[in-house]
Amino acid sequence: MSSTFNGLYIAKSGVQAARTNLNTTGQNITNTNTKGYTRQRVDQSSVAPTSINMLYAGTGAIVGEGVTTTGISQLRNKFLDGQYRTQNAQYGLTSTQLSALQNIEEALNETTSDGISAAYGDFIEQLEGLTSTGSSTATESTVKEAASLLATKLNTAASQLQTIRNQQYDYLDEYGVDKVNSLLKSIASLSDQIKSADIAGTPALELMDNRNMMIDELSEYVNIRVVETPTDIGAGKSVDTLSIYLADNSGDTLKSSTFEADGTKTPEEKAVCLVDGNQVGSLSLSNTSSQDHAVIVVKNTDGETCGTTADDSNSLIQGGSLNGYLSLLNDSGEYDTPSGEITDTERGIGYYDKMLDTLAQQLASVMNADNSTNDAGDNKPMFTDSDGKTDAITAANIRISPSWTSNYLTLSKDTAHAGDDTSGSNSNITKMISDLTTSQYTLATPNGIDLFTGTMQEAVGNVSLTLGQNIDAIDAQDSANSAMLDNIDTRRQSLSSVDTNEEAINLVVYNQALSASARFMTTVDECLNTLINNMGIVGRG
Rounded CA separation 143/288 (Å): 42
Question: 526 vs 382, 393, 518, 523, 531, CA distance in Å?
Answer: 112, 103, 12, 5, 9
Report the pLDDT value the prediction gives residue 233, as an integer from 0 to 100.
78
Residue 229 DSSP SS3:
strand
CA 158 from chain centre, in angstroms, equals 26
Give the 3-state secondary structure of residue 1.
Answer: coil
* List of E strands, 235-299: 237-246, 255-259, 265-271, 273-276, 279-280, 282-287, 294-299
Neighbours of 120 (CB within 10 A): 24
Q: Residue 220 and residue 277: Cα distance in Å, rounded?
A: 21
Q: Is 35 helix (H, G, I), strand (E, B) or coil?
A: coil
Q: What is the pLDDT of residue 63?
A: 73
The number of angstroms, rounded, from the C-alpha of 138 to the middle of its chain's C-alpha atoms is: 55
d(CA 158, CA 353): 6
303: left (phi over 0), alpha (psi -120 to 50) or beta: left
Query: What pLDDT was estimated at residue 182?
Result: 96
- Mean pLDDT, consecutive 10-residue segments, the chain of 541 residues? 70 90 94 93 86 55 80 91 95 95 86 82 90 64 93 94 93 93 96 90 90 96 93 81 91 76 63 91 80 84 84 71 93 82 80 94 94 83 93 94 89 64 73 93 89 91 90 96 96 93 93 90 81 67 51
On whether the CB atoms of residues 324 and 88 are closer than 8 A, the answer is: no
Paired strand residues for 443: 452
Task: For Cα atoms 251, 253, 259, give the angle at the middle one, nearest 5 degrees.
Answer: 145
pLDDT attached to residue 436: 93
Q: What is the DSSP string of 148-186?
A: HHHHHHHHHHHHHHHHHHHHHHHHIIIIIIHHHHHHHHH
Instruction: Return all residues near 183 (Cβ < 8 A) that are at least 6 apart.
Output: 214, 217, 218, 221
